[in-house]
Amino acid sequence: MGERSVKLPDIGEGIAEAELVEWHVKEGDLVREDDLLATVMTDKASVEIPSPLAGEVSWIGARIGDAVAIGSTLVKLKVAGDDTSEPADEAPTEDVATPSAVTNAKTPDAVPTPPARIRPAAIEARPATTSAVRRTPGEKPLASPAIRLKAREAGLDLRQVHGTGPAGRITHEDIDAFLSRGPAPTHGRGMAPKTAVTDVKVVGLRRRIAEKMALSKSRIPHITIIEEVNVSPLEDLRATLNRKPAPEHPKLTLLPFLMRAMVKALTEQPALNALYDDEAGIVHEHAGIHIGIATQTPSGLVVPVVKHAEARDLRDCSIELNRLAQRAREGTATREELTGSTITITSLGALGGLATTPVINHPEVAIVGVNKIAIRPVWDGTQFVPCKMMNLSCSFDHRVIDGWDAAVFVQRVKELLENPATIFVDP
């Protein structure tokens, strides 16, 4: 038996390391050639590493969440043969694993990356020195305001605590003793406090999202404008267009209308369709309008991109939007479909609140947030009438976008949505 090393291969130009997000094997497992060993993640894509040969896993070189340098040893395999002299750091080039061609197109949401969970050790049961006290319904335990505050902060129901003070008054020592011995069986409607703590390691896509959000908030001074939009005419038009949808055309949602309105507004204000290189101090204004659509997937938030929205009509925007969202949720979107946005839309649909403060998708300079539609009374000059109202929450990079320009953009989008026929009129 000999021992051979499998190293992390070159998985992309300019990539020096990758994050280990999943092991498919453990020490002692027998693997065949092309069996999956591990999954690693780069900036936007996850790559599965297959085994270049058959053998038994004798050593694993990293833990989930570790950054692994290109060329470093992932695993060591015991293989059949007489060559036992090969050290781990001198593995021949033919032993280097190559990423599977099928999995190169996988995105972070395609690979389940269960976070490492460190479960607390079992707490040894301690004998109770006093039993939980029963009180009649509606009877309040005797305790001072300071005691009640302490109980609230500990998530403790005072009805479960036996008071040893005068007339059964609860003292600090009573609370400390109760917490130290753990919860007692509950009676009636009271619930025992929960004291277990689960540590969840932030890895994979969740770590990428955390890093992206931290970068955006630390570097970009956000200015957010929230504007109310009457979408009753737009909703009427949308309902009309959806009455006889063709099989190849999905039903229209509000987003394709918003995309077309943004295209018209950005054509008038190209400075908002831009990426800001804050290291070089350069704003790259793009002629092509590539709209990212923040999409929730089982693995986390990703942003597929509708490329060249300026060249698409309403139906084409809708078809491409649905195609990308489906691929993102299934985990089959390519790196090209998840990169290259110049401005982003974020929407929580019916779950959205009245207003939000969207975080800009760095290095973009603007993001448009869609909030839920609600029927509200609107004064038309003579009376209040029920209208379908929706708030737009738009954030801008205040380093390069002045408040006036931001307000002009929001008002232009509002005007187009409130008068949807103008979306289809060429300037």
Q: Which residues are catalytic?
A: 398, 402
Q: How many angstroms separate the CA atoms of 78 and 87, rounded?
A: 12
Q: How many angstroms separate the CA atoms of 301 and 107, rounded?
A: 12
Q: How many angstroms separate the CA atoms of 342 and 267, rounded?
A: 13
CA-closest candidate to residue 156, choices 127, 185, 120, 193: 193
User: What is the pairing mode between strands 384-397 and 366-379?
Assistant: antiparallel
Total residue count of the chain as it appears in this document: 427
Place of tokens 């970068």: 215
The tokens for 201 are 């390691």
Q: Which residues pair with 377 in a beta bridge?
A: 386
Q: Which positions ≥6 away from 376 have C-beta within 8 Å?
A: 386, 387, 389
Sign of the torsion formed by the C-alpha atoms of 63, 65, 66 and 71: positive
Q: How many angstroms separate the CA atoms of 102 and 322, rounded?
A: 23
The tokens for 384 are 């209040």
What angle, rounded to 10 degrees, do the helices at 254-268 and 314-330 form? 110
Q: 10 Å Cβ neighbour count for 97?
A: 22
Give the burial class of 16: count Cβ atoms within 10 A of its Cβ; 0-12 exposed, 13-18 middle, 19 or more buried. exposed
